[in-house]
Amino acid sequence: MGVPVRVWPRAPLFMKKLHFVFDKTDKSKNFKKFIKNKYKNYSASKSSHIIIAGGDGFMLNCIKKYYKFQKPFYGINCGTYGFLMNNYDKKNLLSKITNSKKVIINPLNLMLTDKKKNQKRCDSNK
Q: Report the DSSP beta bridge partners of residue 120.
A: 112
> Could you confirm whether 114 is annotated as catalytic?
no
Q: DSSP label at 82?
A: -
User: Exactly one of 56, 89, 114, 123 is catalytic; which is it?
Assistant: 56
Distances (CA, A) of 55 to 27, 66, 77: 10, 16, 6
Helix (H, G, I), strand (E, B) or coil at 95: helix
Burial of 50-79, coded b for 16+ CB within 10 Å and e otherwise, reads: bbbbbbbebbbbbbeebeeeebebbbbbbb
| 13 and 98 Cβ atoms separated by less than 8 Å | yes
Catalytic residue positions?
56
